[in-house]
Amino acid sequence: MRVRYPRELRTDPDALKKIYMPTPTGAQVPLGELVNFEYVRGPQVIKSEDTFLVGYVLLDKKPGYAEVDVVEESQRFIQNKIDTGDLLVPAGISYKFSGSYENQIRAEKRLSIVVPLVLFIIFIILYFQFRSVTTSLMIFSGIALAFCGGFLMLWFYGQDWFANFSIFGTNIRLLFQMHPINLSVAVWVGFIALFGIATDNGVLIGTYLDQSFAKNKPHTIEGIRQSVVEAGNRRIKPALMTTATTIIALLPVLTSTGRGADIMIPMAIPSFGGMVIAAVSYFLVPVLYGMREERKFNRGGVK
């Protein structure tokens, strides 16, 4: 029930005590002589969720700390106070952390299923393309390298010495807004995008390796190595162009400062670092392919 008091009661709290109440005998008695008034701070709005009365305590984290880490540390601190008796929680009252933390936990549970599923689907697609488990694993090695490159770039972003120099009076570290990046949903989405990009060059090189061996049909160790070099020479330039265009396209995202930059930059960092390190796969895949063919030759598998 909402009660509207006269203006004088709202401006003078003690005026409430001066209200006269009639008695059975007809006398007027001030309300202040009948009751005791106590003024306390209360909620401006009473809210409820799932039939329970709730109150909100808003908090934020300091820069450089992950939301999940902050909340988990806060939970340990509060529980420790409850266990030691420093904080008394009345019966029927409970607390929980919600908001961004709750969304983060929910997203991490989904990603724990989505990321392995994406990797499995990529491997199955590679197997359907090459019809060989070993060839698919060779191409898959590019994903492992890209994965390492993404985490390496995240680590570099948190190091004060990395890219701490200026070009034409502009500090590179400030230009790319380098600071410690915590693992978040945006970062894992960037890794998922990286997996698909890193697979392209491996498929390109692996396809030409198969074609080169099908055309040359080498019968010697030297012939195997020449076929590997031939396929590698024909595909190295297209692979480098693909990587270069991807990296260049990510530069505007990494230097963006507008709305949504706090989400797009963590998504772009794994792709940027992963594609740089994944360039090693241009040499790794042909070497692994040649080693397999030479082993087959030594075992009598090549006629």
Segment 142-198, tens digit of pLDDT = 888 888 999 999 999 988 899 888 988 889 988 898 888 888 888 988 998 888 888
174 within a domain of the structure (yes/no): yes
Q: Is residue 71 part of a domain?
A: no
Residue 17 sits in the same domain as residue 147? no
Residue 12 pLDDT level (bands cut at 50, 70, 90): low
Task: Output the pLDDT for position 117.
Answer: 92
At 183, the amino acid letter reads L
Q: What is the pLDDT of residue 283?
A: 85
| Selection from 117, 116, 285 nearest residue 199 by Cα | 285
pLDDT digits 0-9 by tens, 99-135 = 777 888 888 888 889 889 989 999 999 899 888 899 8
Residue at 203 is within a domain: yes
Whether residue 199 sits in one domain with residue 116 = yes
Q: Mean of the pLDDT values across residues 67-89?
A: 87
**Which percentage of the chain shows pLDDT scores above 90?**
12
Which CATH number belongs to the domain containing residue 143 in this structure? 1.20.1640.10
Let me know if residue 56 belongs to a domain.
no
CA–CA separation, 158 and 273 (whole Å) = 14
Q: Does residue 120 share a domain with residue 29? A: no
Looking at the chain, the whole-number percentage of residues with pLDDT higher than 70 is: 92
CA angle 179, 185, 189 (to 5 degrees): 95
Across-strand partners of 167? Answer: 170
Q: Tell me the pLDDT tens digit for each residue of 235-278.
A: 788 888 888 888 899 999 999 888 888 889 999 999 999 988 88
Measured distance between the N- and C-terminal CA atoms of the chain, rounded to whole angstroms: 94
Is residue 156 situated within a structural domain? yes
Choice among 38-47, 53-62, 155-164, 240-249 with the minimum mean pLDDT: 38-47
- Residues 119, 32 within the same domain: no
User: Do 10 and 131 fall into the same domain?
Assistant: no
pLDDT of 3 > 50? The answer is no
In whole angstroms, give the CA distance from residue 237 to residue 239: 5
Mean of all residue pLDDT scores within the chain:
83
200 assigned to some structural domain: yes
For the entire predicted model, the pTM comes to 0.71
Instruction: Tell me which residue range forms the domain holding 216.
Output: 107-298
Q: Are residues 30 and 145 part of one domain?
A: no
Please indicate, yes or no, whether residues 262 and 124 belong to a single structural domain of this protein: yes
Asked whether residue 64 is assigned to any structural domain, the reply reads no
Number of domains in the chain: 2
- The mean-pLDDT minimum among 49-53, 56-60, 256-260, 299-303 falls in 299-303
Residue 218 pLDDT > 80, yes or no? yes
Report the alpha-carbon distance of residue 128 to residue 199 in Å, rounded: 14
Distance CA 215, CA 208 (A): 10
The predicted structure's pLDDT at residue 302 = 46
Residue-level pLDDT at 14: 67
Per residue, what are the HEC states of the chain?
A: CCCCCCHHHHHCHHHHHHCEEECCCCCEEEHHHCCCCCCCCCCCCCEEECCEEECCCCCCCCCCCCHHHHHHHHHHHHHHHHHHCCCCCCCCCCCCCCCHHHHHHHHHHHHHHHHHHHHHHHHHHHHHHHCCHHHHHHHHHHHHHHHHHHHHHHHHHCCCCCCCCEECCEEHHHHCCCCCCCCCHHHHHHHHHHHHHHHHHHHHHHHHHHHHHHHHCCCCHHHHHHHHHHHHHHHHHHHHHHHHHHHHHHHHHHCCCCCCHHHHHHHHHHHHHHHHHHCCHHHHHHHHHHHHHHHHHHCCCCC
Q: How far is CA 205 from the centre of its chain?
A: 31
On whether both 12 and 119 belong to a single domain, the answer is no
One domain, residues 30 and 133:
no
In a domain, 49, yes or no: no
Whether residues 116 and 256 fall in one domain: yes
Whether residue 283 sits in one domain with residue 159: yes
C-alpha 131/C-alpha 297 separation (Å) is 20
One domain, residues 129 and 266: yes
Q: Cα–Cα distances in Å, from 262 out to 179, 251, 266? A: 12, 15, 7
